[in-house]
Amino acid sequence: MNDSTDNIIVDTATRIFQDLCEPATINDAEKGVWPKALWEALEESGLPLAWVPDNLGGAGATMADGFAVLRVAGRFAVPVPLAETLMAGWLLARAGISVPGGPMTVAPVHADGHIVVGNDGKLAGRARHVPFARNAGHLAALARRGGELVVALVAAADLPISQATSLAGEPNDDVSFEGALPTAVQPVSLDQEGLVGFGAAVRLQQMAGALEKILEQSVQHALDRTQFGRPIAKFQAVQHNLATLAGEVAAASAAADAAAEACSQPEIGLAEVAIAKVRGGEAAGTGAAIAHQVHGAMGFTYEHSLHHATRRLWAWREEFGNETMWAQRLGRMVAAHGADQLWSFITQGS
C-alpha cells in the first residue's frame, strides 16, 4: 500500500491537481471550456516541459519523474494536454530543437503516418486522431524528408484542424499539414514505431493512474453503499470482483513501469512496450467493467465522476496501438526468435 511519495515533482503536480482539477473542471472542459487556471499553474511549475533539458528551454527532470507525474495526471483525469506537451517536448529535445512555451501535441499517433517535408521546406500529409490539436500552440511532427526522419516544429495556427472527440470527450482532431512551413526541422534517430511506442508508454502511465483511481472509488463505494441491511463490501461476490480489480490494477501498474523503463533508454524497447500495452489495455477493459458493476446505476450517471476515469481508459487503451496491434507485433517478435528461445526472450534484460 502506498500512501505517500517522496518526490517533490510528484507532490507539486498532486497539489496543482487537487486545487485546480475538480470534477466540475473536467466536465466543463468536455463542454469546450479551456481550464486556464489549471494550465497556467502547470506551465508555471515547469511540469509540461519536464523532459526538455535546460539548454532547450525545459525543466530538465528525469524520465522517471515525468512518468510519475503522468501517473498522477491519470488519477486526476487532467483535461489539458499535459501528456501531449511532455511528449512533444521529449520529441523536440531528441532532435535538438528549442522548445516553445504553451500547450503542444505530437503527430502522427499511428505507426503508418505519412507526414513529409518537401524540397521546398513545406510540409505535406495529414494526421488523424491527434489529441488536443485544437488547444495546442505548436505541434511536433515526426516526418520524412527524402530518406531521413526529421522532427518538424509547426505552429498550430497555420494548420487546418478538423475537430473530433475521443470516447472521453477530449479533443481528438484530424490535422492537415499541407503547405505549412515549419519553424524548425532537424533530423532525429527515431522511427514512427519508436514514437508510437513512446506514446504507448505515456498512455500506460495515465491508464495506471486512472485504474488506481477507480479501484479507490470502487472500494470506498462498496464500504459506503448499504443494501440488504449491510455494506455491499460484505458480500463475497462483490469482494471477489474487487479483488480481481485490484489484481488488474497491479498488473497494469507493473506493465506501465516496464514500458516507462523501456522508453527511458536511448533505444526504445519495443518488446517491453508491446507486452505492457497489451496487458495494460486488457486491465483497462476488465477493470473499468468491474468498477461500473460495483457502482451500479450511480456510476452510470454523468453526475458521478467515475466516468472521468473509465471513459479515458477506454480511449487510452485504443491510442498509440491497441491490444491487437501490439499483440500481433509481439507475437511476430516471439515467432522470429523461435520456440526454443521463448524463455530467453521473456527473461531478456534480466
Q: Could you say which of 14, 261, 293, 314 contacts other proteins (CB under 8 A)?
A: 261
316-329 per-residue burial string, b: 16 or more CB within 10 A, e: under 16: bbbbbbebebbbeb
CA 306 remoteness from chain centre: 18
Q: Could you say which of 254, 285, 293, 318 contacts other proteins (CB under 8 A)?
A: 254
Set of cell numbers at residue 135:
488547444
Q: Does 222 bind other proteins (CB under 8 A)?
A: yes
What minimum distance in Å lies between the beta carbon of 322 and other proteins? 11
Site for other proteins (CB under 8 A): how many residues? 57
Q: Does 193 bind other proteins (CB under 8 A)?
A: no
What minimum distance in Å lies between the beta carbon of 232 and other proteins? 10
29 backbone dihedrals φ, ψ, rounded to 5° = -60, -40
Q: Could you say which of 215, 288, 290, 313 contacts other proteins (CB under 8 A)?
A: 215
Q: Does 257 bind other proteins (CB under 8 A)?
A: yes
100 backbone dihedrals φ, ψ, rounded to 5° = -75, 165
Set of cell numbers at residue 305:
465522476
Alpha helices in the chain (DSSP H): 8-20, 23-30, 36-45, 63-76, 82-94, 192-224, 236-262, 270-295, 306-316, 323-337, 342-347
Rule CB under 8 A: which of 226-245 touch other proteins? Answer: 233-234, 236, 238-240, 242-244
Q: Does 212 bind other proteins (CB under 8 A)?
A: yes
18 burial type by CB count under 10 A (0-12 exposed, 13-18 middle, 19+ buried)? exposed
Site map 278..317 versus other proteins, x via CB under 8 A: xx--x-----------------------------------
What minimum distance in Å lies between the beta carbon of 17 and other proteins? 14
Q: Does 210 bind other proteins (CB under 8 A)?
A: no
Piece of 51-59, 86-94, 274-282, 302-310 that binds other proteins (CB under 8 A): 274-282
Grid cell 520529441 in the structure block, residue: 91
Q: Does 3 bind other proteins (CB under 8 A)?
A: yes
Grid cell 471477489 in the structure block, residue: 240
323 backbone dihedrals φ, ψ, rounded to 5° = -60, -40
In the three-class reduction of DSSP (H, G, I as helix; E, B as strand; rest coil), residue 107 is classed as: strand
Give every CB contact of residue 304 below 8 A, 6+ residues apart in sequence. Answer: 295, 298
Q: Could you say which of 32, 160, 179, 247 contacts other proteins (CB under 8 A)?
A: 247
Q: Are strands 138-145 and 104-107 parallel, antiparallel or unpaired?
A: parallel
Piece of 21-29, 38-46, 122-130, 318-326 that binds other proteins (CB under 8 A): 318-326
Q: Does 18 bind other proteins (CB under 8 A)?
A: no
In the three-class reduction of DSSP (H, G, I as helix; E, B as strand; rest coil), residue 220 is classed as: helix
- The residues binding other proteins (CB under 8 A) are 1-3, 211-212, 215-216, 219, 222-223, 233-234, 236, 238-240, 242-244, 246-247, 249-251, 253-255, 257-258, 261, 274-276, 278-279, 282, 323-324, 326-332, 334-336, 338-340, 342-343, 345-347, 350
